[in-house]
Amino acid sequence: MGPSQEDSSVVAESITIIDNRTGNQLEIPIDRGGVAASEWSKLLPGIWFYDPGFVSTAACESTITYLDGDEGILRYRGYPIEDLAENSTYLEVAYLLLRGELPTVEEFDAWHHEITMHTFIHENVRKRFLEGFHYDAHPMGMLVSAVAALSTFYLDAKEIFDPASRHKQITRLIAKMPTLAAAAHRFSVGMPFVYPDNSLDFCSNFLSMMWKVAEPRFDANPVLTRALDILFILHADHEQNCSTTAMRVVGSSHSDPYSACAAACAALYGPRHGGANEAVIRMLTEIGSIENVPAFVDSVKQGTGGRLQGFGHRVYKSYDPRAKIIKRTADQVFEITGKNPLLDIALKLEEIALSDEYFTSRRLYPNVDFYSGLIYQAMGFPLEMFPVLFAIPRTAGWLAHWQEMLDQDSKIARPRQLYAGAEERPYVPIGSR
Ligand code: ACO
């Protein structure tokens, strides 16, 4: 029921726009916090929203992840991230993201078995493709290329509307990501490739492929395996972030999932996104000691020291809930590995920034990457592997969004622009310029 004269306190859930050139107006309903641009176009065809970085644009409807940046809430399919980090595993969360419900015991066993059966990569991917890289190739660059190359190994991947094929590619991608990631690392340090050990769970197998030397079976410390599992849960999805948007945009042209996933990996490679935890460690190393923290914070505020890496988020304007969980996980990991010497600098930096008007007024708080790098470093991962460690679990989120986008029969992504270039002008021959 709409507002009436008797009850003027009822506010209509709508906006009214007026075209001042014509006086025409249109009421548009507000639905779940959004207004439909298609409605807007009825009154104002050819007038575009100018929104660089999609700061105020909802590009799709989604049922996968709920995020409230003001309240610091993150839920996958309705389940709070804290609950999942405490009680679930990455593989179960991947199932949840992709299927919408937590699996039963039988469903999980079948899923686990399927993933385990797809962990191997074609020998040519490793021998001819990965080993063709230069010795100092960045593992994330190798991963981006290797994921794209998989599309040439699985030609059935083009059948994106065949449910069986789609399921197979999803299984392959989730299962092979750790194998590709570990292979990229082993190559870059000159160690022989370790084949997957299908007697191990998802994270233990990845750690085995990373660190195994000559022992018949590599059994990782269970505390470290669990910490990695938690980090994978926390990184599995984050609604319409840069890499997921890349996945949806490329997928909207109906390219195969490997090509779309490679684009998502490429987006994750950048220091503003998946490269941020690497940047945090470099920043902490550069700061060097607690005494240098105040001067560093000052240089950030003055704009001469760059940004405070691992701080700030496009959506979170309060403490990132994932950062809180990671901080706790860090303590457990450091009990096994010994404390990362950079931790004290990080804690001091956080303390000073959280009480400084520059950061509080801009609502800049630690994000997921502020502490994750410290854990990865303590566990022995080289800095270059950090974005790779992000890509492994985010694959589940990318694929969940890709699948959802295809099921929504969405249009090809094709935004408009506001042209700001030259007016028409005649071509001038090179000799007359
Ligand atoms: N350090 C210092 N100042 C900052 C920081 C920071 N980390 N982040 C934002 N600001 C300042 C900006 O200078 C700007 O100030 P101004 O209004 O005086 O010009 C204001 O805060 C708003 O910044 P924007 O760049 O407009 O915010 P945006 O939402 O576009 O950026 C981003 C978000 C890219 C994450 C940014 O905060 C940043 O660069 N952070 C550091 C990198 C980082 O940690 N990235 C990881 C993100 S989480 C993830 O991808 C998993």
- Section 24-51 average pLDDT: 92
Instruction: Give residue 195's domain range.
Output: 83-408
The yes-or-no answer on residue 313 being catalytic is yes
C-alpha–C-alpha distance, residues 245 and 53, integer Å:
11
Residue 282 CB coordination number (10 Å): 15
Contact 321 CB / ligand 1 (< 6 Å):
no
**Does 110 reside within a domain?**
yes
Percent of the chain with pLDDT over 70: 97
Residue 75 is assigned to a structural domain of this protein: no
Instruction: Tell me if 280 sits within 8 A of 247, measured CB to CB.
Output: no
At residue 9, the pLDDT reads 61
Is residue 233 in a domain? yes
CA dihedral (179, 272, 237, 378) positive or negative: positive
Q: Is the CB of 77 under 6 A from ligand 1?
A: no
Query: How far, in Å, CA of 310 to CA of 72, rounded?
Result: 16
Both tokens assigned to 130: 């990965």
Instruction: State if residue 244 touches ligand 1 by the CB under 6 angstroms criterion.
Output: no
Q: What's the whole-number mean pLDDT along residues 219-240?
A: 97
What number of other Cβ atoms are within 10 A of residue 71's Cβ? 11
Ligand 1 pocket residue status of 367, Cβ below 6 Å: yes
pLDDT, position 317 = 86
Number of structural domains the chain divides into: 1
CA distance 188 to 133: 9
Judge whether 118 counts as a catalytic residue: no
Query: Looking at the domain assignment, is residue 50 inside a domain?
Result: no
178 contacts 202 by C-beta, under 8 angstroms: yes
CA of 311 to the centre of ligand 1 (A): 7
Q: Is 112 in the pocket of ligand 1 (CB under 6 A)?
A: no
Pocket-testing residue among 232, 265, 311, 326, ligand 1, by greatest number of atoms within 8 A of Cβ: 311
Atom 29 of ligand 1 has which residue's CA nearest to it?
Answer: 314
Return the residue whose CA atom lies nearest to atom 13 of ligand 1. 307
Residue 3 lies in a domain: no
What integer pLDDT is reported at residue 1 of this predicted model? 38
The enclosing domain of 155 has a CATH number of 1.10.580.10
127 secondary structure, DSSP code: I
**Protein residue with least CA distance to atom 25, ligand 1:** 314
Confidence at residue 271, expressed as pLDDT on a 0 to 100 scale: 82
- Protein residue with its CA nearest to atom 27 in ligand 1: 314
Indicate if ligand 1 lies below 6 Å from the C-beta of 300.
Answer: yes
Residue 131 lies in a domain: yes
The pLDDT tens digits for 376-415 are 999 999 999 999 999 999 999 999 999 999 999 889 999 9
CA-closest candidate to residue 189, choices 121, 128, 136 = 136
Q: Whose CA is nearest to atom 51 of ligand 1?
A: 273
pLDDT of residue 267: 97
Indicate the helix (H) or strand (E) that contains 228.
helix 222-235
The more confidently predicted of residues 277 and 5 is 277
CA of 93 to the centre of ligand 1 (A): 29
Q: Does 58 map to a domain?
A: no
In this predicted model, what pLDDT tens digit does every residue of 293-336 receive, in sequence order?
A: 999 999 999 999 889 998 988 888 888 899 889 988 999 999 99
Tokens of 397: 């989120």
307 lines ligand 1 (CB under 6 A): yes
Does the pTM of the predicted model rise above 0.85? yes
pLDDT tens for each residue of 340-368: 889 999 999 999 999 999 999 999 998 88
Q: How far apart are the first and last CA of the chain?
A: 68
Does residue 331 lie within any of the structural domains?
Answer: yes
Helices (H), 44-195: 81-87, 90-99, 105-116, 123-124, 139-153, 163-188
Assign 4 a pLDDT band (cuts: 50, 70, 90). very low
